[in-house]
Structure 1
Amino acid sequence: MIGPLNHVGIAVPSIEDAIKPYREIFGITDITKPKALPAQGVRFAFVNLPSGQVELIEPYGDNSPIEKFLLKHPKGGQHHMCFEVEDIYAAKSYVEERGASVLGEPRIGAHGTLVIFIHPKDFTGTLIELMETPKQISGPAHSGDED
């Protein structure tokens, strides 16, 4: 049911400030431009690593869940871990049948796929995000139309 670890989400007061140590200390240059996801009250950027991603998340708009997190942890910190699943609705049913508390209904997340969150009380204080594995987009090189 559970797939690979996709990313670790880090809540930060400022994405621009949070990017600096990844660039200056680790020399990472593959970092996405920050984007807003108003429906979830966040602005985010991904630090791309060989084995996954770090998602830097800052508050966006009123009632951001990240704003609430930063009130408790002003410098920021680990917000969630995200695992991939093949079918978000099947995953939701699976974890609920086993007693986990899912926070809300599936919705579009930062990768453009459906996500759900599992309450931290079910995972020793860690918020878990499950995201539907992104579908591969076929283009000219993968269309099967090659000679």
Structure 2
Amino acid sequence: MMKLGRLNHIGVATPSLEASLAYYRDVMGATLTHEPFDLPAQGVKVCFVDTPGENGTHGTQIELIEPLGENSPIHGFIAKNPAGGQHHMCYEVPDIHEAKKWFEGLGKRVLGEPRIGAHGTLIFFVHPKDMNGVLTEIMETPREAH
């Protein structure tokens, strides 16, 4: 039986990466783990921050996503939520294709085919109506992961 792996990150949509980076750094004590970069295939500009964990370790990783133009899927989210907010949660799996078949076998709506995500590994999304109201990203575990 297929099982989800660890929570990799929480995706937060924002109208301004710059403002969100300042907030997470200055208020939440987070550190930037990747410089912001455009991900045109997803229609977003992305960066990752790590919140502080216990004893100087890294806590939870946050993916900040800003729309790249009006055709971005995040553009509609920001239009409905002008301040931004939680967009998705991302879980790791060892085999993305096996995971896709498993979710579909459970009757869950997989949104599109596996494609390269911000971590450079294959991802897909599962419709929030099938996941207790939470848009869920499924990500193949990156090779350099623990």
> Structure 2 length as normaliser, TM-score?
0.89
Structure showing greater Rg: 1
What's 1:116 paired with? 124
Deviation at residue 48 of structure 1 after TM alignment? 1.7
SS in 2 for 1:20: helix
**Contact 2:69–2:75 (CA<8 Å) still a contact in 1?**
no
Alignment of 1:46-125 (within 5 A): 46-49=48-51, 50-125=58-133
**Aligned residue pairs: how many?**
137
Q: In the TM superposition, what whole-angstrom CA distance separates every residue of 1:73-108 from its partner, at most 9, and x where no partner exists?
A: 111000000000000000000010001000000000
Give aligned-pair identity as a percent. Answer: 55
Deviation at residue 62 of structure 1 after TM alignment? 4.1
Q: Distance in 1 between matches of 2:13 and 2:122?
A: 20
Task: Name the structure with the higher strand share.
Answer: 2
What's 1:145 paired with? none
What's 1:13 paired with? 15
**Contact 1:41–1:62 (CA<8 Å) still a contact in 2?**
no
Match of 2:137 among 123, 129, 145: 129
Q: Distance in 2 between matches of 1:13 and 1:62?
A: 12
Letter matched to residue 32 of structure 1:
H
Deviation at residue 124 of structure 1 after TM alignment? 2.0
**Contact 1:38–1:61 (CA<8 Å) still a contact in 2?**
no
> Structure 1 length as normaliser, TM-score?
0.88
Structure 2: gaps (5+ residues):
52-57
Deviation at residue 63 of structure 1 after TM alignment? 1.2
Q: Identify which range, 22-31 or 42-51, moves more after superposition.
A: 22-31
The CA RMSD measured in Å over matched residues stands at 1.3
Q: In the TM superposition, what whole-angstrom CA distance separates every residue of 1:30-58 from its partner, at most 9, and x where no partner exists?
A: 34211010011000110123133100000
